[in-house]
Amino acid sequence: MSISFANGVDARSAARGLVPLCAGAGVYLFFLLAGDGLLGDSDSFWHIKIGQWIIDHRAVPYSDFYSLTKFGESWVSTSWLSQVLYAAPYSSLGWAGPVIMASLAIAVTAAIFIHLLNVHFETARSVLLAILALVLSMHHLLARPHILALPVMVAWVGALMAAADRRTYPSWLLLPLIALWSNLHGGFVLGLALIAPIALEALWSEEPERRVALAARWAVFAIGALAASCCTPYGWNTLFGAARILDLGELLSLISEWAPANFSSFGFFEAALLGLIALAFSAGIVVSLPRVVLVLGLTWMALTHVRNIEAFAFLVPLVLAKPLAGRWKLTQATVGGEIRSAPYVTVFASLTIVAAAWTSTSVYVTHHHFAFTATQTPAAAVDLLEQRQVERIFNSYQFGGYLIARDVKPFIDGRAELYGEKFVMNFFHAVEGRKVDDLLRMLEDFRIEATLLAANSPAAQVLNHVQGWKRLYADEIAVVHVRTDQPLPNAVRAPEASR
Amino acid sequence: MSISITSNVNLRSAPPGLVALCAGAGAYLFFLSAGEILLRDSDSLWQIKIGQSILDHGAMPYTDVYSFTRFGEPWISSSWLSQVLLATVHGAFDWAGPVILTSLAIGVTVAIFIYLLDPYLDPARSILLVTLALLMSGTHFLARPHMLALPVMLAFVGGLMVAADHRSHPSWLLLPLMVLWANLHGGFVLGLALIGPVGLEAVWSSDPKHRFALAARWALFALAALAASCCTPYGWNTLLGATKILSLGKLLSLIWEWMPADFSSISFFEAALLGLIGLAFYRRLVLSAPRIILLLGLIWMALTHSRNIEVFAFLAPLVLAKPIAEQWRTAEAGVRPFGEIQPPYHITIIAALAIAAAGWASTKTFVAHHPFSFVTAQTPVAAVDVLEQRRAQRIFSTAPIGGYLISRDIKAFIDGRAELYGEKFVMDYFDAVEGKNVETLLRLLETYRIDATLLNPTVPAAKMLDHVAGWKRLYADKLAVIHVREDRANAEMLAR
C-alpha cells in the first residue's frame, strides 16, 4: 500500500514529509515482520520488570531489589521512561508490545534521518544512506531503551548540525528533546558532548565580527541543555549515573556490546570505514576542521565500542551531508515554479500510510506469536530450580534477565554498573574458566546452592570435574549443578545449618 | 656520533643517500641499545635451532624432528636463509648476534624508506613518517625471519612503485630481490600479489597508446617474479608452503600476531588510521582508482591481521607520496636551486664511511659491556631442569615454552609452527590451555600420553589441573608450574 502510493506521486513535487514517512512505514513493517530479531537480549526482561514496578508503585527505584549479591545497594534507573514505555504495551500485548515499540522507534529514526538528509541530497541517496545506517547498526537493534532513544539522538544532532550549516544557533525548542533523551536512556551524555564541536563548526564558518555573539548563544544553549538533561526524577544524579557506566574500564571490553570493533572477518562496518576512506580520496572534498574532528570522534567511538557503530552510522552522514552536497551540486532538484500537491492531499496521504501500517500491524500481531530467543531463556532448568526451592543461584551473565522475570534473584545480570568493575571482572574470569580458584571461592563466599550456566560455558565443564559438585540437569540451553554433600529434600536450609 | 654529523651538514645540499644513511644508522643504534625488546618471542629459539641444524647437516629439513606430536610429518622451512643467518650470528656472538642482525635490518629498512620518499617529500617529513611507521610496527619487531625480510620487502615494492610513478615497467634487477625474499621469509607472496595492482596503476596513468605494450611488460615481469620466487632449495614447494599458513582460517584469530587489529585502547595504528581519514577530508587529495585500491588493500590487511600493520606503515606512504607531492607541491621544498654547491663525490663517500665506522665502533663498545638476555617468561630454566631430572619425555606445554624446549633438545608438544600442527590441533590446544574446554584438555593429555605439563602460572589450564583428579602439582616457581600424574607418582614410590 505504502509503496504504490510513493510511486504514484511524483517524488519531486511530493510534499517533503511524504518520502520519509513512506520510508519510515517500510522500515517499521520490516522490523515488525523480523520482530524476533529484536528479542535477542535478556536485558529486555529486567527492563520490562522494572518498568512494571515503576507503573505499579508510581515511583522510581533508588536501590536494587532484584539481585542476590547487591540487594539493597543504591542504584538508579537512567532509562526509567523507556522501561515504562516497554512495560505498558508488554502487559497488554505480550512480546508484540515491545516489538511494535522498538520497530516504531527505528522507523521514526529512519524517517527523521531521511528528512534531514533530503535538504542536501536527492531522495534516492538519502534512502540508500538510511539503509546503510540500518544495516550497520543491525547487530545492536534490540528491544531495549537505547532504541527508543535513537530517534531522539538523530533529531537532536540533526537539528544542531542544521543550525551549524546555517551558521546560526540552535532553537530553544530543542531543549525538551534532551530532557526526553535523558529520561529515555543514559546515552544523552553524547548529545551534550557533541554540542561543543558542532558549535565550533558554526563559529568556524562565521564572519569574525559575529563570532563572539554566536559563541555566547551556543554557550547559553549548552548550559540550558545541561540543565534540561537534569529534568528527570533523579535530578542531577542521572548525569552521574550515566557517567558511571563509562568508568567500568577494562570490564567494558568483556561485555559484547562494549567490545572494540573486530575485523577478523569482513563486515559491514569495515566496508563502511574503507568506503569512507575511498570517498575521501576519490571525491576530493574538503571539509572544515571541526567537521573532521566530528568524523574522527565518531569513528574513534565506533572502533572502541561496537555499540557506538549506530552513532557512527547515523551521525557521520549528517556531518558530511553539507560538504558532500556542495561538492556534488546535488540540491538543484528544487526548481522554482514546480507543481506541488495541495496540503490536504499530503495530509490525506500521510493518514493513509499510517492507517495501512496500523492495519498490517494488527493483522500480523494476531496470528504471529513473538518468542524470545531460546538461548537466553532456560525455562526448563529454572522450573526445576523452582521445584527444588533453590534460592541462591550462580547464573551465567545472559540468564540474569530471565531469572528476574521469573522472580528469582540472580547472582548477576546486565546491570554491570550496579555490580561494579571488580565483581564483574572476577565473575567473567571465573565463568570463562580462566581462574578456577576464583570460581570455587565465589561459590563458597556467596553460599551458592546451585549453578545455572550456559551449556557451552567453561565453568559448567569445570564443575563436572570438581569435587563437591555434581551435574543435576542439562539441556541444550543450560546446565544445572548442585552440591553433592547437600541432603536433597531440604536443600534450602542446608547451608545455613552448616554455619 | 651519527646525529652530530647530520646537524653539521646543510640538509639542502646533502645528497639524498646521506640523509637516509644517517637516519638508518640512528634507527640501528636505537634498536641495538634497546636490544632486549627484540628478544621477546621464543620462536627465535627454534628458528635458530633449525638454522643450526641446516648448517651442521648441510641439508634442508623436509620433515619435522622437533615435536613428539608431529614427528616425521612433512614440513619445510620457508625461511631457511634467515634461520641460517640468525644461527650463524648467534653461534658467533651469542644473543648479541641476532640483535645486531635484526637492528641492521631495521636500519636498512629505514634508510631505504627515506631514500624512496626523497623525490617527493623533504627529509623532515620523511623522518616523521618513518618514526610513525616504527612506532606502529614496534610490537612486531622481534629477532625473527620476518624482520630480515622487511628491507627486501620495502626495496622490492618500492622498486615497483617507482616504476608505476614513472609510468614505466619495473627493472629486471628486482628479480634477484624476489629470489632473496623467497628464501628469507614466506611473506614474499605479498610481493607477488602487489605486482598486479601496482602494474594497474602504471597502466592506468600511462598514455593510452602505450598501454598495451606496458601491460605486456608488467605481465612478463609478474611471470618472471613468480619463477624467481621458486628459486629456493624447495622449488615451487616454497610457494605452496607459504600459502598454507594463510589457509589456517579461524585459528589465525587466536595467534596474537595474526589477530585482527585491537582498538580497545588507543594505539599508534588507530591514530594513524584516524589521521589518514582526517587528512583525506581536511586537504584536497585525489587519488587514482588503483592507488585507492592499493591503499584500501593495505588498510584491510592491517585491520584483519595486526602483523600486517608494519606492511601498512611502510607501504602506504609510498602509495601516497607522489600524489601528495604533485597536489600539495611539497616537493618544491626539496627541489635544489640552480647553482647550488653539491659536495664533491669523494667527500660524500668519506662521510658515509664515517657513519658506518661510527656505527661499527658504537656496536663494538656497547656489545662488549652489555650481555643481551632472552625474556625470562618464555624460558623456564629451573622447571625444565626438574623435568630433565625426572626424564619426562612427553611434556604438554604452551607454544611459547615449546620453542624453549626445542632449544633444550626436548621434543615439544606444540610450538610456533602452526602450519605444521594444523588448524584443528592448534584450536584444540587453545581451547584446552585457555580453560575453554576441560574435556579437550583431559582428552589431549590422554591421547598423547602426557607425562607432565609445563605451563605458566597464569595459564587457566594450570589452575584447572590443581583441581582435576589424577593430576598433582609437582613444582612451581614464578615462571612455570609442573603437574604430573598422581597414579604414576604413586607407582614410582611403590617401585622404590
DSSP symbols for B50-105: HHHHHHHHSS---B--SBSSSTT-B---TTHHHHHHHHHHHHHHTTHHHHHHHHHH
Please state which of the ranges A154-158, A199-203, B349-353 shows the lowest mean pLDDT. Answer: B349-353
Residue A496 has which C-alpha cell?
Answer: 545455613
pLDDT tier for residue A84 given thresholds of 50, 70 and 90? very high
* pLDDT in 10s for each residue of chain B, 496 residues: 344 434 333 444 456 678 899 999 999 999 999 888 899 888 999 999 999 999 999 999 999 999 999 999 999 888 999 999 999 999 999 999 999 999 999 999 999 999 999 889 888 889 999 999 999 998 899 999 999 999 999 999 999 999 999 999 999 999 999 999 999 998 999 999 999 999 999 999 888 888 999 999 999 999 999 999 999 999 888 888 877 777 777 777 778 788 888 898 889 999 999 999 999 999 888 999 999 999 999 999 999 999 999 999 999 999 999 999 888 876 554 444 444 556 677 888 888 888 889 999 999 888 888 888 888 888 899 999 999 998 888 999 999 999 999 999 999 999 988 888 988 899 999 989 988 888 899 999 999 999 899 999 989 999 888 888 888 899 999 999 999 988 755 565 555 5
Strands B395-397 and B452-455: parallel
Give the end of a domain, one of A317, A351, A385: A351
Tell whether A201 and A291 lie within a shared domain.
yes
Give the end of a domain, one of A336, A351, A366: A351
| Interatomic CA distance for residues A45 and A460, integer angstroms | 24
Check whether A494 has a pLDDT greater than 70. no
Residue B411 has which C-alpha cell?
Answer: 621434543
Tell whether A389 and A491 lie within a shared domain.
yes
CA angle A370, A371, A374 (to 5 degrees): 165
Calculate helix-pair angle for B211-229, B188-205, nearest 10 degrees: 170
CB nearest to A281's CB, from B285, B437, B438 = B285
Tell whether A138 and A269 lie within a shared domain.
yes
pLDDT in tens, A249-282: 677 777 777 888 888 888 899 999 999 999 999 8
Q: Which residues pair with A9 in a beta bridge?
A: none
Tell whether A276 and A185 lie within a shared domain.
yes
| Interatomic CA distance for residues B45 and B52, integer angstroms | 11
Whole-number pLDDT of residue A56: 94
A412 within some domain = yes
Query: Which has more confidence, A283 or A380?
Result: A380
CB nearest to A299's CB, from B266, B277, B282 = B277
Contact residues, A window 220-259, toward B, CB-based 8 Å cutoff: 253, 259
pLDDT tier for residue A319 given thresholds of 50, 70 and 90? very high
Q: Once rounded to an integer, what is the mean pLDDT over residues A315-337?
A: 71
| Interatomic CA distance for residues B194 and B22, integer angstroms | 30
Tell whether A259 and A400 lie within a shared domain.
no
Please state which of the ranges A5-9, A46-50, A92-96 shows the lowest mean pLDDT. Answer: A5-9
Residue B126 has which C-alpha cell?
Answer: 620523511
| Interatomic CA distance for residues A356 and A344, integer angstroms | 18
| ipTM of predicted assembly, 2 dp | 0.86
**Which residue does chain B place closest to A468, by CA atoms?**
B467
CB contact under 8 A, A295 and B281: yes
pLDDT tier for residue A245 given thresholds of 50, 70 and 90? confident
CB contact at 8 A, A318 and A158: yes
CB nearest to B435's CB, from A280, A303, A433 = A433
- Whether residue B285 lies within 8 A of chain A, CB to CB, comes out as yes
- Whether residue A260 lies within 8 A of chain B, CB to CB, comes out as yes
Q: Once rounded to an integer, what is the mean pLDDT over residues A187-207?
A: 91
CB nearest to A280's CB, from B277, B437, B460 = B277
Whole-number pLDDT of residue B150: 96
Maximum distance among all alpha carbons in chain B?
Answer: 94
**Which residue does chain B place closest to A271, by CA atoms?**
B300
Whole-number pLDDT of residue B122: 86
Q: Once rounded to an integer, what is the mean pLDDT over residues A180-188?
A: 92
**Which residue does chain B place closest to A455, by CA atoms?**
B437
Whole-number pLDDT of residue B14: 56
Tell whether A342 and A380 lie within a shared domain.
no
- Helix (H) or strand (E) holding A470, with range, is strand A469-474
Comparing C-alpha atoms, which of A105, A48, A119, A121 is closest to residue A80? A48
**Which residue does chain A place closest to B271, by CA atoms?**
A300
How far does B268 lie from chain A, in Å, by closest CA? 13
Domain ranges, residue A340: 2-39+95-351
Query: Any residues with CB less than 8 A from the CB of A149 and at least 6 apart, and which?
Result: A79, A82, A181, A184, A185, A187, A188
Check whether A375 has a pLDDT greater than 50. yes
Whole-number pLDDT of residue A495: 39
CB contact under 8 A, B282 and A263: no
CB contact at 8 A, B5 and B354: yes
Whole-number pLDDT of residue B164: 93
Whole-number pLDDT of residue B492: 56
A90 within some domain = no
Q: Which residues in chain A have their CB less than 8 angstroms from residue B282's CB? A: 286-287, 289, 292
- Whether residue B299 lies within 8 A of chain A, CB to CB, comes out as yes
- Whether residue B253 lies within 8 A of chain A, CB to CB, comes out as yes
Give one DSSP letter per residue of B358-407, joined into a string. HHHHHHHHHHHH------GGG--HHHHHHHHHTT--SEEE-HHHHHHHHH
Give the end of a domain, one of A295, A316, A351: A351
Q: Which residues in chain B have their CB less than 8 angstroms from residue A296's CB? A: 274, 277-278
How far does B464 lie from chain A, in Å, by closest CA? 6
pLDDT tier for residue A15 given thresholds of 50, 70 and 90? low
| Interatomic CA distance for residues B227 and B220, integer angstroms | 11
Query: Any residues with CB less than 8 A from the CB of B94 and at least 6 apart, and which?
Result: B371, B372
- Helix (H) or strand (E) holding A395, with range, is strand A393-395
Q: In b/e form, how buried is each residue of B12-21, taking b as 16+ CB within 10 angstroms?
A: eebbbbbbbb
Residue A320 has which C-alpha cell?
Answer: 558530511
**Which residue does chain A place closest to B459, by CA atoms?**
A434
Query: Which has more confidence, B128 or A434?
Result: B128
A68 within some domain = no
Q: What is the mean pLDDT of chain A?
A: 86
How far does B218 lie from chain A, in Å, by closest CA? 25
How far does A461 lie from chain B, in Å, by closest CA? 6
Whole-number pLDDT of residue B337: 46
How far does A149 lie from chain B, in Å, by closest CA? 25
Whole-number pLDDT of residue B66: 92
Q: Which residues in chain B have their CB less than 8 angstroms from residue A464's CB? A: 438
A330 within some domain = yes
Q: Once rounded to an integer, what is the mean pLDDT over residues A106-128?
A: 91
CB contact under 8 A, B281 and A432: no
Contact residues, A window 411-470, toward B, CB-based 8 Å cutoff: 432-437, 440, 458, 461-462, 464-467
How far does A320 lie from chain B, in Å, by closest CA? 10
Whole-number pLDDT of residue B6: 40
- Whether residue B434 lies within 8 A of chain A, CB to CB, comes out as yes
Q: What is the distance of C-alpha A440 from the center of its chain?
A: 35
| Interatomic CA distance for residues B5 and B422, integer angstroms | 52
How far does B105 lie from chain A, in Å, by closest CA? 30
Tell whether A333 and A426 lie within a shared domain.
no
Q: Once rounded to an integer, what is the mean pLDDT over residues A460-465?
A: 87
pLDDT tier for residue A48 given thresholds of 50, 70 and 90? very high
CB nearest to B435's CB, from A282, A300, A434 = A434
Whole-number pLDDT of residue B109: 96
CB contact at 8 A, B155 and B314: no
CB contact under 8 A, B463 and A286: no
pLDDT tier for residue A285 given thresholds of 50, 70 and 90? confident
Whole-number pLDDT of residue B155: 96
Q: Count of domains in chain A?
A: 2
| Interatomic CA distance for residues B108 and A219, integer angstroms | 54
Whole-number pLDDT of residue A434: 83
Q: Which residues in chain A have their CB less than 8 angstroms from residue B470's CB? A: none
Q: Where are the alpha helices (DSSP H) in A120-210?
A: 123-136, 145-165, 175-184, 188-204
Query: Which has more confidence, A373 or B172?
Result: B172
CB contact at 8 A, B261 and B439: no
Whole-number pLDDT of residue A329: 60
Half-sphere exposure of A417 (CA within 13 A, CB side): 16
User: Choosing among A252, A265, A436, which should be mutated to test the B contact, i.e. which has the most B CBs within 10 A?
Assistant: A436
Whole-number pLDDT of residue A135: 92
| Interatomic CA distance for residues A210 and A203, integer angstroms | 9
Q: Which residues in chain B have their CB less than 8 angstroms from residue A293's CB? A: 278
Whole-number pLDDT of residue A11: 41
Report DSSP state, residue B342.
Answer: P
Tell whether A275 and A381 lie within a shared domain.
no
Q: Which residues in chain A have their CB less than 8 angstroms from residue B259's CB? A: 264
User: Choosing among B248, B251, B254, B263, which should be mutated to test the A contact, i.e. which has the most A CBs within 10 A?
Assistant: B263
A57 within some domain = no
CB nearest to B284's CB, from A253, A284, A292 = A284
| Interatomic CA distance for residues B238 and B188, integer angstroms | 10
A356 within some domain = no
Q: Once rounded to an integer, what is the mean pLDDT over residues A457-475?
A: 88
- Whether residue A119 lies within 8 A of chain B, CB to CB, comes out as no
A87 within some domain = no
Q: Which residues in chain A have their CB less than 8 angstroms from residue B270's CB? A: 300, 303
Q: Which residues in chain A have their CB less than 8 angstroms from residue B295's CB? A: 277, 281
- Whether residue B470 lies within 8 A of chain A, CB to CB, comes out as no
